[in-house]
């Protein structure tokens, strides 16, 4: 293992995944058949389950459900409508239909998002996310969600940046939600965050959120499309952990798939990742075992990279 990478990826055990990462990056940066010109060195990473804990539910879900529970409390007439009804009645089966992108469920969530934020400014939304970051604790670990970023992935960001990669996050989750904490948590600028987003209009001197999405959801085939729109390229290095990352991982030269197999330190599950794990075996993607490959899972002090 070359010295540089060992120094820069200290939370990675010596393992096949680390060896593959280092070999790929060294190939990209060294004269030879695998050299990649610096402008083309785009790395993209999914967020939920790739950069931070997504169990028992994706963190943004916690944010949304709290807001909509409050809306249902303030406006009792909403309690008969979805998704408020499911929240009030704790009908988790309703939300599980979101995971499979049931169009009817997705539509109620889009409508609820528009109801909560259409016509508001970016600053109002950012302030609301900021309160959530600063006050809400993840139920199992008892710390704020942004403290549950994966330390090995932050080190990977640093290693890639040190080798002139430009690192982007591309998540089906909310672009503007992630941008609130991207700089302090990931050490990447807001413009390096790609995700599902509402369209905004500039009206009477202010940006106001519309009730429409800008482009589609950044999920599945939406990931390469959103990445191209933002960067003008497709990634040469991509990391994900789920079936909705398959297209992004397929277009990339190097593909990393995080396998959640550590019930002690994090969670063990493959629900929603069955097809991606099969694709990894079929196409020779690099699979990362949380249990075996990561010496440390979370940052010790929650400080930024």
Residues paired with residue 121 on neighbouring β-strands, in sequence order: none
- Indicate the SS3 state at residue 52: strand
Residues 189-218 that bind a second copy (CB under 8 A): 189-191, 193, 197, 199-203, 205, 207, 214-215
Q: Please identify, using beta-carbon distances, which residue of 97 and 233 lies nearer to a second copy.
A: 233
Cis peptide before 153 (omega within 30 of 0): no
Query: Is 185 within 8 Å of 149 (Cβ atoms)?
Result: yes
d(CA 189, CA 167): 9
Rule CB under 8 A: say whether 282 interacts with a second copy: no
Rule CB under 8 A: say whether 283 interacts with a second copy: no
d(CA 55, CA 57): 4
Q: Please identify, using beta-carbon distances, which residue of 171 and 230 lies nearer to a second copy.
A: 230
Q: Please identify, using beta-carbon distances, which residue of 138 and 185 lies nearer to a second copy.
A: 185
Rule CB under 8 A: say whether 174 interacts with a second copy: no
Rule CB under 8 A: say whether 219 interacts with a second copy: no
- Residue count, binding to a second copy (CB under 8 A): 36
Show the site string, 220-249: x = touches a second copy by CB under 8 A, - = not. Answer: -xxxxx--xxxxxxx------------x--
Stretch that binds a second copy, among 85-93, 138-146, 187-195, 261-269 (CB under 8 A): 187-195
Q: How far is the CB of 175 from a second copy (least distance, A)?
A: 8
Q: How far is the CB of 265 from a second copy (least distance, A)?
A: 32
Q: Please identify, using beta-carbon distances, which residue of 137 and 189 lies nearer to a second copy.
A: 189
Whose CA is closest to 223, among 45, 56, 83? 45
d(CA 297, CA 52): 10
- Token pair of 298 as six digits: 């979370």
Query: Is 287 within 8 Å of 2 (Cβ atoms)?
Result: no
Strand 198-203 with 206-213, pairing: antiparallel
Rule CB under 8 A: say whether 303 interacts with a second copy: no
Residues 123-152 that bind a second copy (CB under 8 A): none
Rule CB under 8 A: say whether 46 interacts with a second copy: no
- Indicate the SS3 state at residue 36: coil
Radius of gyration over alpha carbons of the chain, in Å?
20
Rule CB under 8 A: say whether 8 interacts with a second copy: no
Interface residue with a second copy, options 179, 241, 244, 290 (CB under 8 A): 179
Angle (CA) 12 278 14, round 5°: 15
Q: How far is the CB of 190 from a second copy (least distance, A)?
A: 3
Show the site string, 57-86: x = touches a second copy by CB under 8 A, - = not. Answer: ------------------------------
Rule CB under 8 A: say whether 183 interacts with a second copy: yes
Rule CB under 8 A: say whether 113 interacts with a second copy: no
d(CA 15, CA 6): 11
Q: Please identify, using beta-carbon distances, which residue of 139 and 284 lies nearer to a second copy.
A: 284
d(CA 165, CA 42): 6
- Token pair of 303 as six digits: 């400080």
Q: Please identify, using beta-carbon distances, which residue of 10 and 119 lies nearer to a second copy.
A: 119
Whose CA is closest to 99, among 42, 37, 54, 146? 54
- Token pair of 165 as six digits: 């990669």
* Interacting residues toward a second copy by CB under 8 A: 39, 122, 166, 175-176, 179, 183, 189-191, 193, 197, 199-203, 205, 207, 214-215, 221-225, 228-234, 247, 250-251
């Amino acid at each position: 293992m070359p010295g540089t990478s060992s120094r820069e990826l200290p939370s990675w055990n010596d393992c096949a995944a680390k060896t593959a990462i280092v070999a790929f990056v060294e190939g990209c940066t060294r004269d030879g058949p695998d050299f990649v010109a610096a402008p083309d060195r785009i790395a993209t990473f999914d967020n939920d389950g790739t950069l931070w804990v997504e169990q028992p539910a994706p963190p943004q879900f916690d944010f949304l459900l709290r807001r909509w529970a409050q809306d249902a409390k303030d406006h009792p007439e909403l309690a008969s409508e979805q998704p408020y009804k499911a929240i009030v009645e704790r009908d988790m089966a309703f939300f599980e239909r979101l995971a499979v992108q049931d169009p009817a469920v997705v539509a109620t969530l889009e409508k609820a998002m528009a109801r909560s934020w259409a016509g508001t400014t970016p600053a109002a939304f950012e302030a609301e996310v900021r309160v959530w970051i600063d006050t809400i604790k993840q139920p199992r670990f008892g710390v704020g969600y942004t403290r549950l970023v994966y330390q090995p992935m932050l080190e990977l960001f640093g290693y890639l940046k040190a080798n002139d990669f430009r690192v982007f996050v591309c998540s089906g989750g909310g672009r503007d939600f992630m941008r609130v904490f991207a700089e302090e948590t990931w050490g990447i600028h807001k413009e390096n965050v790609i995700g599902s987003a509402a369209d905004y209009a500039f009206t009477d001197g202010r940006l106001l959120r519309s009730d429409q999405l800008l482009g589609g959801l950044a999920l599945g085939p939406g990931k390469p499309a959103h990445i191209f729109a933002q960067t003008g390229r497709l990634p040469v290095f991509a990391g994900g952990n789920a079936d909705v990352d398959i297209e992004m991982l397929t277009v990339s030269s190097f593909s990393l798939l995080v396998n959640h197999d550590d019930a002690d330190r994090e969670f063990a599950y493959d629900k929603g990742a069955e097809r991606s794990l099969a694709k990894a075996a079929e196409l020779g993607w690099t699979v990362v075992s949380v249990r075996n490959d990561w010496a440390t899972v979370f940052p010790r002090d929650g400080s930024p990279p």
